[in-house]
Chains A and B, each alone.
Chain A
């Protein structure tokens, strides 16, 4: 196995040109006369489908790309497959790449499954003799036996897809790019595909897959890239990226007025937050306190994988999502040394001078670079009371002193 990664993307961006008839004419002229491609023109114009993606996929690794529709997943796959060229940045692929972007793409309906398999295999880079040698295997896998010499237009959609998949995997690529293909076909076929993908994994094939089936992603992939709006949100172990994506989606569905308790939470679980509480000076949990009282946020944690790089953070927000205050151990100058076992950390506020109302607390433990071990949004909710309903969030101690106006002081 070579030292080079199977796939390497460095600062890759892809911009699609926005067409206007004039623009087309100009670009065509430019391409012909000056040899400048759209790539040159694209910089700064058009639709930025993907930006700033860095990625390395090792031989034998299975890597998933997740994210909502329109986040640039398919563009990324096509860049790796060599169907598209990046606008900026570099894409390197070590070995033969096969793309399963649309199964049976290019099958001609009028000719037989056998001929289509040969043509498809040759398009994927095999010689005619290679395809013919692997034909029994293709037929066996696709299970189209008696229909092999029938025109493809007589096939059911399942047969069509099975044949497409069988040909593509028969190529035995070094890098396999898979776009949402297991969504088609029946359960039995999906199992066979998974089985075949597992065989390719053992063979050392790097697999890059896009799927909305997050369970499948967790099952198949070691790592995942979470894309949103063309930009990478995180590259992390598949479970972590999926959890983050799920929590984002859940958050969007629930909208802004999400109650505390059904907290959004993500992280790789190397350290987990067991409890986040607001406590008084005596250490008793609080849910209600008067403005200006002392209080502390107490975080109890358990470490699964000892860390030397860690930051504890706390943020206080209003219910409408506006930030009130936030800090972390790194900001406040604490240097991490070792985090192991389980324990507690407390952030004390000698005077919590908040305006009356309800507040939500986020607590997190993460690496200095931002990789979340455990990030608990709205882990805690509390209510501040005050004798007067001051607006805003900050309620410092204050006093009016009238020197000119004739006013009577408040009673009491």
Chain B
């Protein structure tokens, strides 16, 4: 009895259908802002407004401070952007196969394309939001609040690891959600918990309880977010150990995700 698609087959299929993935990502983006007055400007405007809200709240309502001298709203924003990209992609992955059920049931269509498109669409939105962060950082640097982090040139590497991890998880979530509709709701809560278990609104060194700090350090999302924020905002070049840890986490997530998907691939069309 066949054991389904080999994991490498899933990756090969994604590569073979890269053209299709490309047009589907473009379709998602086109469809998203179709009929809105501001169109693509929303991709820029949404994060800008979010930043404005955080800036207002954490400057005047609850004056908060990060460890370094970086203004807290920007600090929060730099952790929030990759997190929103990842969690958004995962939540959408949980429904993407069900949403494309007609295609999977009625057209011969490789299912791995859909979670990939979801992740890449979110990546594009993330890339459109990045200039807001960079501009805010530049403005803060201009005001003398911080030094502009030239380590930002390392961002592609940090982002690559994050995309790899999110991509692997998205594949697993998409395939599992076909069998467990509950996964979507479960995921929502797990992501909520993970948000607070990842140093996004705080830094590791501000956790008073040592055990708790160790626990949060062990959270696999922690190195990925830390590496990202180090290079994009804090101007710190992460240590080789930090890179290795983040890369290992990303690779494991990717491989496990691809493996889970490949195991369930053949059951998707008749279950979805």
Q: Spell out A's residues near B (CB within 8 Å).
A: 16, 24, 27-28, 31-32, 35-40, 78, 81-85, 97-99, 101-102, 105-106, 108, 110-111, 115, 118-119, 122-125, 127-128, 151
Contacts and interface: CB of A to CB of B under 8 A. Distances in A.
A129 B34 CA distance: 25
Contacts of A24: 179-180
Interface stretch (B99-107, B138-146, B231-239): B99-107
Contacts of A123: 20, 103, 107-109
Contacts of B24: 119
A105 B107 contact: yes
Contact of B107 (A27, A28, A106, A118): A106
A151 B34 contact: yes
B261 to A, nearest CB: 11
B263 interface: yes
B3 interface: yes
Contacts of A39: 1-2, 266
A16 B102 CA distance: 18
Given A105-B107, A119-B20, A37 B102 contact: no
A105 B260 contact: no
Given A24-B180, A110-B34, A123-B20, A32 B263 contact: yes
Contacts of A31: 4, 263-264, 267
Contacts of A28: 176, 179-180, 264
Nearest to B264: A31
Main secondary structure of the interface of B (DSSP, over half): helix
A115 B30 contact: yes
**Which of B1, B20, B107, B260 has the most chain A CB atoms inside 10 A of its CB?**
B107
A84 B269 contact: yes
B23 A118 contact: yes
A209 to B, nearest CB: 15
Given A35-B4, A99-B108, A128 B269 contact: no
B184 to A, nearest CB: 15
Contacts of B30: 110-111, 115
A83 B31 contact: no
Given A99-B107, A99-B108, A111 B27 contact: yes
B20 A36 contact: no
A215 B35 CA distance: 46
Given A32-B260, A115-B27, A84 B270 contact: yes
Nearest to B33: A110
A83 B110 CA distance: 10
B19 interface: yes
B191 to A, nearest CB: 21
A55 B107 CA distance: 22
Main secondary structure of the interface of A (DSSP, over half): mixed
Contacts of A151: 34
Interface in B92-141: 100, 102-109
Contacts of B107: 83, 99, 101, 105-106, 123-124
By Cβ-Cβ distance, the 8 closest A-B pairs, closest first, are A35-B3, A106-B103, A110-B31, A105-B106, A101-B106, A102-B106, A110-B34, A40-B1
Given A24-B180, A32-B263, A111-B27, A106 B108 contact: no
B246 to A, nearest CB: 27
A119 B179 contact: no
Interface residues of B, number: 33
Interface string B8-50: 0000000000011001101100110011000000000000000
Interface of B: 1-4, 19-20, 23-24, 26-27, 30-31, 34-35, 100, 102-109, 176, 179-180, 260, 263-264, 266-267, 269-270
Nearest to B30: A111
B179 A82 contact: no
Nearest to B3: A35
23 contacts: A24-B180, A31-B263, A31-B267, A36-B3, A37-B1, A37-B3, A37-B266, A37-B267, A39-B1, A78-B105, A83-B108, A97-B108, A99-B106, A106-B107, A110-B31, A111-B30, A115-B30, A119-B20, A119-B23, A122-B19, A122-B20, A123-B103, A123-B107
B64 to A, nearest CB: 40
A24 B266 CA distance: 15
Nearest to B19: A128
A16 B270 contact: yes
A314 to B, nearest CB: 47
Contact of A108 (B27, B104, B263): B27
Contacts of A128: 19, 23
A39 B265 CA distance: 13
Contacts of B266: 37, 39, 85
Nearest to B29: A111
Contacts of B260: 32
Given A39-B2, A99-B107, 10 more contacts: A24-B180, A27-B179, A31-B264, A36-B3, A99-B106, A108-B31, A111-B27, A111-B34, A119-B20, A151-B34
Given A35-B4, A115-B30, A119-B20, A110 B108 contact: no
A24 B24 CA distance: 31
A245 B106 CA distance: 27
B235 to A, nearest CB: 42
A27 B267 CA distance: 10
B233 to A, nearest CB: 36
**Which of B102, B106, B266 has the most chain A CB atoms inside 10 A of its CB?**
B106
A102 B108 CA distance: 12
Contacts of A81: 108
Contacts of B180: 24, 28
A105 B102 contact: yes
B94 to A, nearest CB: 15
Contacts of A27: 179, 267
B91 to A, nearest CB: 20
B59 to A, nearest CB: 39
Contacts of B2: 37, 39
A374 to B, nearest CB: 41
Given A24-B179, A28-B179, A111-B31, A106 B100 contact: yes
